[in-house]
Structure 1
Amino acid sequence: MSNGILSRNIRKMVQYNLRNTFYDYQNHCGTSCSTIKCWKWDITPVILMHNKPSLRYAVLILNRPISQEEAFMKNFWEKATLRITVDGGALRWDQFLTRLPEEISNKMKIPDLITGDFDSIAEETLQKYKKKGCKVVHTPDQDYTDFTKALKELNNHCQEHTIEVDNVIAIGQASGRLDQILGNIQTLYLAEKQHLLHPETKLYLMSGDSLSWLLEPGNHIISIPEETRKHNRAWCSLVPIGETCHSVTTSGLMWNLDNQSLKFGELVSTSNAFDGSDTVKIKCSHTILWSMKVPSLTGE
């Protein structure tokens, strides 16, 4: 092969690789993102129950009171691709159903899966759902929380039945025992570090009228629902957990960060707010926990 032909072939290969690289970044964030990872987050379709046939998500009910607005929870549960109750979460869901009119509660879909070590659920409740045809998986391993084990079983169930979900939303109040709240955040980290879910599946923690999730090192573009932007008590936070985030730069916040460090004992960006923009952009050097208010979850 002549040097001229070889050079042309090399140029074609380089151009092809550059196009593919740009396309990959476009898929992640809608903009060219240099050479760092970039994610785009938009929770509006799930929270507002937009009628999208391709909307695929799983709901996990953890063992905490369900405080979300009744109409929201009914639609949220019914339209889910998968429905899972985690240990005492089955009792919490059963209690929620008893608050509904009988003609409605009887028509609600049953959980696809009930998991846990079953130290927080009465045998009577467990047998009740077994008789209805719910799949029950006992996970006695005490090295992990029931939430963490439930994610593993969710992934197993999806692989076994060839089911794909884009989002997993766990419902568990950020109230009560502080160690359990921190344990839930630990599960968010384990899901990422131990690859408990499909790499493209996003994991959220819903608590009251807020949503929380992890932002890995890189660029993030977060779509802010209109109801949040216009709410007079809307809030958000960026919290480093487990390690210092040495550099955070943001736009779209009331109090933006400019290449600043987030660290316990120094600066932690709690009780932040929005500047009215429809997106918040965040660039972080290390993983941080992002939380934000979503008023429609509780109707407040």
Structure 2
Amino acid sequence: MDNAASDQSIIALDGWLQTPAGRYLCEWEQTCLDNLTADIFGFNALQIGMPQINALAANRMPYQWLADNRVRPRSVGAAPEDVPRQVAVALDYTELPFASQSIDLVVLPHVLEFSPEPHQVLREVERVLIPEGQVIICGFNPASLWGARQAVGRVTGSDFLPRAQELISMPRMRDWLKLLNLGASQSHFGCYAPACRTEKWLHRYAFMDNAGARWWPYLGGVYIVQAIKRVKGMHLIGPAWTKRTAAAPVAVPVTNKRRKQQDG
């Protein structure tokens, strides 16, 4: 998939997110991202792509940016909830315009599966993250009802999801992260309802979200994985809260002294 095709796929994703299934996905991901980012501290946070959600809404870092590969025009007459947020930085996913080791948190909602060079995107994210910085990635799960429906749609020509370069499984994503010294710390799955296009049928299958999280947790339509940048040979050292005192000489019992004298 070349860059032009990738842009078309991202445009298709924008339209799909306005559908009932897209709003269902955005609602779950917004809730999960709020829980994950609330307790991540630092100074600089960056969201790349998918301005339809505010991945940093619950985060308290003083400097936050929304970046994407293009600036989306505002639609006249659109409802406020359907208007994407304004992009602060327009960039190429494979060449981030940030200094090395300058960002504390990077969130990538559905960027890698639509990028022609997902490995390079991850390498750039690893470069700009500070040591112990964190990255959060959202992706469509191929091992799910949505993934199975998409695989059938490729054959029949009736896709359920926007046509991506390739859906990346969770184990494969973890392997990619490990190669870049990004240790996956936790992961979450969601959107267990079947691939329904109408709000009526999604509402009927709402019970599957609770059942799926309990009985088949790894088969959710989407996943979110969180990873931490590990730097070899580097350890965070906390403050010395107490001063060490000189160790007092240990008294030797008299019986031990006599026994040593008798033993020579």
TM-score tier by shorter-chain length is 0.3 to 0.5
Length-normalised TM-score, structure 2: 0.33
